[in-house]
Amino acid sequence: MIAANLLEARALARRDPRTAATLLAETDFVLAASERVVITGPSGSGKSVLLRALALLDPLDGGQLLWHGRSVERRAIPRFRRSVAYVRQRPALVEGTVEDNLRYPYSLRAYRDLRFDRDGAARLARAAGRGEHFLDKRASDLSGGEAQVTALIRVLQLAPEVLLLDEPTASLDPDTVRAIEALVDDWFIADRSGRASIWVSHDPAQAARVGQRHLQMRAGRLTAPEGDAA
């Protein structure tokens, strides 16, 4: 049985390690099972800092993160990162083909109990409007949108429980934007056990499409938009 709250941040804080400036003020936040949260705000407001803190990718300067109601101990971080996946705006791809990139996670120690499913990956590619030969394309020949689709498929095939999407469609053409949104929708539909997402976006129209709960970041502080409840 899945706990009602997947992630709970209690007074999470982050400071610039060089200047000690506040990047993320003490932040309380709860992500419930099956919830779709969208976060908007100006550049430099702390949106990426928050997502990286929730993914435990950067050291925290204060606060506590709970996963299914429990603190995440150091030895449990690899398992935590299997379940909570951070997708950044500009993905890093390895040399080789799209398929090589999709196979890459399975070479990592954390995923050696899983096997690459080429048919499943091809289905995800088709859901994103990519043809049957997409997996054979060279990574060096991909457009920015194709690289982002590849990075998202690489994450989705591992069936995470939470997606942290850090402006994954910024600067992409409208067709690719909708393809990526469709991929995330399919990920929700494929498993109704309580998956959840946080999507950072600058686009108000996209925010309305991809989020059920809208929050804003300003100067490192997370708030509900005026007139809305958090």
Tell me if 87 is assigned to some domain. Answer: yes
Tell me if 27 is assigned to some domain. Answer: yes
Query: pLDDT at position 170, please?
Result: 87
Query: pLDDT at position 207, please?
Result: 95
Query: pLDDT at position 160, please?
Result: 95
Query: pLDDT at position 16, please?
Result: 94
Three-state secondary structure string covering the chain: CCCCEEEEEEEEEEECCCCCCEEEEEEEEEEECCCEEEEECCCCCCHHHHHHHHCCCCCCCEEEEEECCEECCHHHHHHHHHHEEEECCCCCCCCCEHHHHHHHHHHCHHHCCCCCCHHHHHHHHHHCCCCCCHHHCEHHHCCHHHHHHHHHHHHHCCCCCEEEEECCCCCCCHHHHHHHHHHHHHHHHHCCCCCEEEEECCCHHHHHHHCCEEEEEECCEEECCCCCCC
Query: pLDDT at position 230, please?
Result: 44
Range of the domain at 212: 5-223
Partners of 166 in beta bridges: 200
Query: pLDDT at position 226, please?
Result: 62
Tell me if 228 is assigned to some domain. Answer: no
Tell me if 88 is assigned to some domain. Answer: yes
Tell me if 230 is assigned to some domain. Answer: no
Q: Going residue by residue through the chain (230 aa), what tens digit of pLDDT does each one get?
A: 444 799 999 999 999 999 999 999 999 999 999 999 999 999 999 999 999 999 999 999 999 999 999 999 989 998 999 999 999 888 899 999 999 999 999 999 889 899 999 999 999 999 888 988 999 999 999 999 999 999 999 999 999 999 999 999 988 899 999 999 999 998 988 876 789 999 999 999 999 999 999 999 999 999 987 655 44
Query: pLDDT at position 224, please?
Result: 84
Tell me if 50 is assigned to some domain. Answer: yes
Tell me if 229 is assigned to some domain. Answer: no
Query: pLDDT at position 2, please?
Result: 45
Tell me if 215 is assigned to some domain. Answer: yes
CB 184 within 8 A of CB 148: no
We report the CATH number of the domain holding residue 205 as 3.40.50.300
Number of domains in the chain: 1
Output the CA angle 172-89-145, nearest 5 degrees: 30
